[in-house]
Amino acid sequence: MTVMHAVDRDQWAGADWPLGASVDPATGLTTVAVYAPAATRVVLERYAAALGHPAEESVGLARGADGVWRGRVAGLGHGALYAFRCWGRNWPYDPAWTPGSGVGFRSDIDPDGNRFNPNKVLFDPYAREVTHAPMDPALRDRGGDGGFWGTGGDDYHGRPRREADTGLWAPKGVVVVDDTGYGHRPRLPAHKAAVYEAHVKNLTMHPSSARLGELLDDMPGFEDVVDIPDALRGTFRAAGLMAPYLKGLGFTTLELLPVQQTDSDDVGDSQGGHNHWGYMTMAFFAPNRDYSADKSPGGPTREFKEMIRAFHDAGLEVYIDVVHNHTAEGGAWHGDPATTGYTSLGGFAAGEYYVMTAGHIPVDGATGTANQVDYSSGAACDLVIDSLTYWTDVMGVDGFRFDLAPVLGRTPLAWRPDDWADQRRFFPQHPLLEAIARLGEDKQVEVIAEAWDLWGYEVGNFPPGWAEWNGRYRDAVRRYAKGDGDVQTFSAMVNGDYHHFADQGGPQRSINFVTAHDGFTLMDLVSYNTKQNDQPYPFGPSDGGTDANDSWDSGGDPGLRRARWRNFWVLLFFSRGVPMVVSGDEYGRTQNGNNNPWALNTVGMWNNWAQTASHVPTRLPVDPRNPAAFAYHDVVGQTVAPEGTNPLFVFAAHVTRIRQRDPGLRQRNWGGLVFDSGDVTYLFRRPDLQDWPAPGDRAVSLAIDGSPVGGHTYLVMINMNDHRQEFRVPGTDGSWKRIIDTAPWAEHHFNCWAPAEATVIGEGTYVAGPWSVVVLQGERSHRAGDGPGFADTDRFHYAS
């Protein structure tokens, strides 16, 4: 192996090489750069192995005027493992220091909150790959107890904890040189999107994925779906093989839970117990090695890009969930500011990257996760933009969803550290939020906020260019669909939430959802009154989870549950805005009522694809390898469908494809004041069509006129009463065809009909069953200014 050695040292201090490790293809030399402005010495180390071996060579770096330490070396090419050690004012360099000693120590914290400790080996925050996570079971298997990560003076095996050296244990950066292509971006307009949220591992880890193509072989539109090879289950490569499935289902976009390297003890299909969802990001440029079938150096990078290419080749896009509000490094151990366990950012510049109290204790108020990133810091803002740019330009990602995004709009250093009222303030014009919006516009990628955190609810308050998960939509639709009668809020949300999104570029900025990864599945939403998190493996136990679910168990009636499940699906895909569902909802997936399985990497949480092809999906074995071991709660029951057919799945695909085909249901503008005014009008009326809905009305008619844009006209009759409801059906120039009725009577027809096979409904009345939604499809044109039999109005109904 080539020995690492310095090259052109006299140029280092004045260089402007980018952060991270970059190999020059012409010379084979590697530049390294890391931001540590308060450090007094930074040393680069090369390692022969990730675990169990000390550094083989080291090179001291040079500090530039910008606070970046740089060097150029030979012998650090593709696949090389590297890391750093840092000294600072609290621990000045002493030539007598050796790994594991306290020589030079003055204090655990400097006056600015930095925690320099040369015994704590640090991986590069800009590393393109990382060898392993601190929680990796391989450390435990080698005798590691995790106590060595900490600083401070607590006793650790007879010595101060700060002196425990982590060189044998610490994650190392991996130098990556890779030119794998990610295909051609579809660049789909945002308003045409339909988003499918999924976890890389949960998507294909279940043994049933090995039969996916076989299971869907007879289902129209799924002819290209393939079986997932056993060796690939739960990986990026397997996710790429799911592109034909999403396309057949009618979705345009896969939104993945965090894919960046996370700190978790899950490995493959083993249940570790921590951070299965991945919201403890430790490396913002590195794909999660555990999600890659190819774990060789560069393998995760290559495999991720190949997954992206598979979706791009199918005309689909991929968004990723990014966690920039906090990191996996945690905060003060047991409340002691001197004791932290930093492995990267905090070891280089804790005072720059993290919000702290006046006593230098990391703050977690808005995140609840032991630390919070400080976006008063230019370095923290640069890290976000640099990471997004890398995942866009190099990895091929088409969009980003930002976890607890209000944190990115706060300015902690503008206020006294313990002034919590001001610390909570959110600024829509924060430079970072505006920079992200510009990046989205310039690179034609979507940027989406989870617009709330523990300090505030900011839905509708992000700057133009941002889309947002619309929690108001979720709450209003859930409540109305269980009979609360707040028709004004419900209609406002179905109409795209004009009040909150009119200044953000259009209704496509509202990401409409009823369920997501955190919370009940759609079938559980209609099957449980309260969360069921304290249950045994594989459906629990789980901590946390909200008690405010707006759920109803449908009186324990499986037929009503299925009808209400269909109601939600129809309302979501006929609402103005961008629909999003969570993976598995399309076939009635249940978590047995667990609404927060964030740490469960279990067969009960993986997508059981056998349920897509069963008329009794929740009576199937949870684990086909051990059928008697576990059981689903039979919340779906026995459906009225042929054996081997899941009517929920058939219905979901049918409704999703209606939106995919009809431009009137995919608009970037709100409607005008009257029908045929050149745009798509959503008009709400009482069932008799004579007036606006009144407060408390649990039944409402919605007319959608898509004819000006080449779409259809729809009459959506929504009855959330517990009794049958008569609706007026107006006359038209043509005729109405019943294409959807969610009531139990129609389940043997799959509750949906193609227009060519649909029953013609003439002018008069239609009686909708209790807790049902009926959709009639009309002709494509009406007389200008004349709705389909609705009473005249002088304004459009924008409920608020």
Tokens encoding 38? 């308060």
What is the C-alpha radius of gyration for the chain, rounded to an integer number of angstroms?
Answer: 28
Catalytic residue among 317, 364, 374, 403: 403
Tell me how far apart the alpha carbons of residues 495 and 368 are, in angstroms, rounded to a whole number. 34
Tell me how far apart the alpha carbons of residues 791 and 339 are, in angstroms, rounded to a whole number. 70
Phi first, then psi, for residue 664 (nearest 5°) are -65, -20
Q: Is 388 left (phi over 0), alpha (psi -120 to 50) or beta?
A: alpha
What's the gap between Cα 373 and its chain centre?
19
Angle separating helix axes 345-353 and 378-393, nearest 10 degrees: 120
Give the start-end residues of each E strand in 137-240. Answer: 155-156, 159-160, 173-174, 195-198
Q: Report the 10 Å Cβ neighbour count for 467.
A: 26
Tell me how far apart the alpha carbons of residues 134 and 611 are, in angstroms, rounded to a whole number. 37
Does 450 participate in catalysis according to the annotation?
Answer: yes
Tell me how far apart the alpha carbons of residues 423 and 357 are, in angstroms, rounded to a whole number. 11
Q: Return the ∠ at Cα 49 (arms to 95 and 154), rounded to 5°.
A: 55
Helix, strand and coil percent figures for the chain, each rounded to 5: 25, 20, 55
Tell me how far apart the alpha carbons of residues 97 and 89 are, in angstroms, rounded to a whole number. 15
What's the gap between Cα 731 and its chain centre?
45
Count of positions (residues) in the chain = 800
**Closest listed residue to residue 390, CA positions, set 462, 305, 509:** 305
Upper half-sphere CA count for residue 757 (Cβ side, 13 Å)? 7
Helix ranges (H only) for 316-414 are 345-353, 378-393
Residue whose entry in the numeric block shows the structure tokens 């369920």: 515
Tell me how far apart the alpha carbons of residues 611 and 646 are, in angstroms, rounded to a whole number. 7
CB 514 within 8 A of CB 572: yes
Any bridge partners for residue 765, and if so which? 728
Residue 186, amino acid: P
Q: Could you give the dihedral angle defined by the CA atoms of residues 673, 675, 677 and 681, in that order, rounded to the nearest 10 degrees?
A: 70
Any bridge partners for residue 401, and if so which? 321, 448
Q: Is 652 left (phi over 0), alpha (psi -120 to 50) or beta?
A: alpha
Tell me how far apart the alpha carbons of residues 770 and 772 are, in angstroms, rounded to a whole number. 6
Tokens encoding 166? 């982590």
Q: Which helix (H) or strand (E) holds 312?
A: helix 299-313
Does 306 participate in catalysis according to the annotation?
Answer: no
Biggest CA pair distance of the chain: 94
For residue 370, what is the DSSP state? S
Tell me how far apart the alpha carbons of residues 652 and 797 are, in angstroms, rounded to a whole number. 29
Q: Is the peptide bond before 538 cis (omega within 30 degrees of 0)?
A: yes
Helix ranges (H only) for 636-777 are 647-661
**Closest listed residue to residue 539, CA positions, set 623, 615, 619, 612:** 623
Residue whose entry in the numeric block shows the structure tokens 């810091």: 377
Residue whose entry in the numeric block shows the structure tokens 């919590």: 420
Catalytic residue among 266, 306, 398, 450: 450
Tell me how far apart the alpha carbons of residues 339 and 353 are, in angstroms, rounded to a whole number. 17
Contacts of 645 (CB under 8 A, 6+ apart): 613, 614, 615
Tell me how far apart the alpha carbons of residues 506 and 491 are, in angstroms, rounded to a whole number. 17
Active-site residue set: 403, 450
